[in-house]
Structure 1
Amino acid sequence: MAIEVGTRAPDFELKNQHGESVRLSELAGERAVVLVFYPYAFTGVCTGEVGAIQQELVGLQNDSVQVLAVSCDSPFTLRVFAEQEGLDFPLLSDFWPHGAAARAYGVFDEAKGCAVRGSFVIDKAGTVRWSVVNGLPEARDVQEYLAAVAAL
């Protein structure tokens, strides 16, 4: 079960597509976070979802808000995916320990070995203010992210 709105967001440190460490708690006090877990790079629904985020990036990411997308793919896979799709936001690898961040947020599918489609908007204080969790085949609506960010 996914963590609930109003709870403290679990901290994590993951490598981005360039091999750089990104720690959620380092953004606290400075930026809110749109945290998007997705199953796998290069799959149809996931590619569509990250493409929609890229198209709306001006409304989702700025000096006050950071988008972070997380999958269990390796950083090497995520680098090629980001380059191929023209993505201008961090793609974080939850590869090892496999799915640890997704498990902390309650969005890891043990049977499939990947995250389900869980999204969380975390305020600057580190509290989850909005969330949505969809099954593997169900794309999320980027307009919901925009509304959640606007409500911060």
Structure 2
Amino acid sequence: MTHPVAVGAQAPDFELQDQHGTPMRLSGLRGRKVVLVFYPLAFSGVCQSELAALRSAGFTSDVQVLAVSVDSVFAQRAWADREGYTFPLLSDFWPHGQVARAYGVFDEAKGHARRGTFVIDGEGVVRWSVVSPIGQARDVAAYIEALADIA
């Protein structure tokens, strides 16, 4: 198993399509804080509760939430529309799991991302991270606390 990107390291840049088919590049968000959330699969219970908590968290305007899974753009769109997610759901569909691999959170045996979250500062440096077991939801309050520690 690979290790997640270390705190203090430069976050690997990537470009993925969101649920509307619009390309998003991490480096295009310089100057903003990013909460990069990898989740296993759309339409699954724990993932739904986590993304609902992100939707309700009330992040400030200088924070961009990006949620990433191996689901297709079409599945991401259907899920976002059904659940009212307005932040980008990014498709790491092909090459399958490439971005999750770059961040060290791809589960080769299961074929999807593990529950990894990376808080990235405006310069593109990972400032905080957590990887949780597959069935355990992450605590959005911890993201908010980590964001508050970034100037």
- TM-score bracket for the superposition, by shorter chain length: over 0.9
Match of 1:12 in 2: 14
1:102 deviates by 0.2
d(CA) in 2 for partners of 1:54 and 1:137?
20
Does 2:91 align with 1:93? yes
Question: What are the within-5 Å matches in structure 2 for residues 80-119 of structure 1?
Answer: 80-119=78-117
Deviation digits for residues 107-126 of structure 1 (CA, Å, limit 9, x no counterpart): 00000000000000000001
Does 2:27 align with 1:25? yes
1:99 deviates by 0.2
Does 2:37 align with 1:36? yes
Question: What are the within-5 Å matches in structure 2 for residues 49-128 of structure 1?
Answer: 49-56=50-57, 58=58, 60-62=59-61, 64-128=62-126
Q: Kindly indicate whether the alpha-carbon contact (under 8 Å) linking 1:70 and 1:92 is maintained by their aligned counterparts in 2.
A: yes
Aligned length: 148
Does 2:147 align with 1:149? yes
1:133 deviates by 0.3
Q: Which amino acid aligns with 2:93?
A: F
- Give the alignment's TM-score, normalised by structure 1: 0.95
Q: Kindly indicate whether the alpha-carbon contact (under 8 Å) linking 1:17 and 1:76 is maintained by their aligned counterparts in 2.
A: yes
d(CA) in 2 for partners of 1:32 and 1:150?
10
| Structure 1 residue ranges (4+ consecutive) displaced by more than 3 angstroms after TM superposition | none
- The gaps in structure 2 that reach 5 residues or longer are none
- The gaps in structure 1 that reach 5 residues or longer are none
Match of 1:132 in 2: 130
1:150 deviates by 1.2
d(CA) in 2 for partners of 1:75 and 1:61?
26
Deviation digits for residues 32-53 of structure 1 (CA, Å, limit 9, x no counterpart): 1000000000000000000010
1:61 deviates by 4.4
1:84 alignment partner, SS class? helix
- Give the alignment's TM-score, normalised by structure 2: 0.96
